[in-house]
Amino acid sequence: MLFKQQALLRQKLFVLGSLAIGSLLYLVARVGSLDRLQPLCPIDGRFGPRGQDEIPLRALQFKRGLLHEFRKGNATKEQIRLHNLVQQLPKAIIIGVRKGGTRALLEMLNLHPAVVKASQEIHFFDNDENYAKGIEWYRKKMPFSYPHQITIEKSPAYFITEEVPERIYKMNSSIKLLIIVREPTTRAISDYTQVLEGKERKNKTYYKFEKLAIDPNTCEVNTKYKAVRTSIYTKHLERWLKYFPIEQFHIVDGDRLITEPLPELQLVEKFLNLPPRISQYNLYFNATRGFYCLRFNIVFNKCLAGSKGRIHPEVDASVITKLRKFFHPFNQKFYQITGRTFNWP
């Protein structure tokens, strides 16, 4: 009896061991075959008509890992060639507006697997010295990407610099242009706050906002103050419209991007002819920071720099009222030109 029990036990152990070894061999073979096959991931996948190139499954890995190494200059020419990576001129540019949320917009669009961002502001079109270096210099400032990805850069000074529209037109007359705006008075105060912080960091004194925004001689709004001029959106846009039709512009609501980012990003995806990929999963509210942060995957999250969301100084209520009254007719014209209305006072 004991002998039979021992034999049965040995038989069971043999079967279990065989199953374990078989499962292990299957997994090894499966991983190996996946590595060899390198399957294409449709991610519903096509960015154009059926039959065009699809994005490789590994694209997401390269975008977060290998492409980061390339940006740091750690890749060889052979690695770049093997992975079919290129430095492309941007197909879309965030041209402004300063303190409208350009950095937040760029980082959020970078959540999309078909978008690759230039990490730094290039200042090619608004800087005469850089512009004189030529378009090839500009292209080499762009990140590595796959040919089917869209490269985007942002330099908010582009929007207000007189020479920029013509220069961009000469590079690409069909380029898509993104403008992110906030309520003009709030944007002007935010602009002032950033400069003020820089002065304080250097132990320098600076005028109060009221003294800069209001002309002491006339007691009217000081249109020579750059923070005020930048907020007259329609004046700058009219200069751009001499070169580009309004259909090539998309206006992003910077105030809504702070409180409810997903609908704004979905509108940009549509404007750029991208398949919808950014979801609520990619955006989560950080109560400590007071704004939305980004979730790329289960292990990689990112919040904007601590300098974002600065506390504005208190501004005299009468000055705010005067500024809002001043901006009102310009805002109405901006709504009319762009076809987008904001609830600005």
Q: Is 108 exposed, middle or buried (0-12, 13-18, 19+ CB in 10 A)?
A: buried
Q: Is the pLDDT of residue 95 over 80?
A: yes
Q: Point out the catalytic residue in the list 63, 99, 154, 322.
A: 99
Is 99 noted as a catalytic residue in this protein?
yes
In tens, the pLDDT along 238-292 reads: 999 999 999 999 999 999 999 999 999 999 999 999 999 999 999 998 888 788 9
Comparing 109 with 23, the larger pLDDT belongs to: 109
pTM: 0.78
Q: Any known ligand binding at 161?
A: no
Q: What's the whole-number mean pLDDT along residues 4-21?
A: 51
pLDDT band at 127 (very low <50, low <70, confident <90, very high): very high
Q: What's the whole-number mean pLDDT along residues 106-130?
A: 96
Q: Any known ligand binding at 103?
A: yes
Q: Any known ligand binding at 131?
A: no
What's the CATH code, domain 63-182+231-310?
A: 3.40.50.300
Share of the chain above pLDDT 70, in %: 75
Mean pLDDT taken over the chain: 83
Instruction: Parse the chain into domains and list their residue ranges.
Output: 63-182+231-310
Q: Is the pLDDT of residue 94 over 60?
A: yes
Q: Are 195 and 208 in contact (CB under 8 A)?
A: no
In tens, the pLDDT along 177-219 reads: 999 999 999 999 999 999 999 888 888 888 999 999 999 999 9
Q: Any known ligand binding at 101?
A: yes
The three state secondary structure string of the chain is CHHHHHHHHHHHHHHHHHHHHHHHHHHHHHHHHHHHHCCECCCCCECCCCCCCECECCHHHHHHHHHHHHHCCCCCHHHHHHCCCEECCCCEEEEECCCCCHHHHHHHHCCCCCEEECCCCCCCCCCHHHHCCCHHHHHCCCCEECCCCEEEEECHHHHHCCCHHHHHHHHCCCCEEEEEECCHHHHHHHHHHHHHHHHHHCCCCCCCHHHHHECCCCCCECCCCHHHHHCCHHHHHHHHCCCCCHHHEEEEEHHHHHHCHHHHHHHHHHHCCCCCCCCHHHEEEECCCCEEEEECCCCCEECCCCCCCCCCCCCCHHHHHHHHHHHHHHHHHHHHHHCCCCCCC
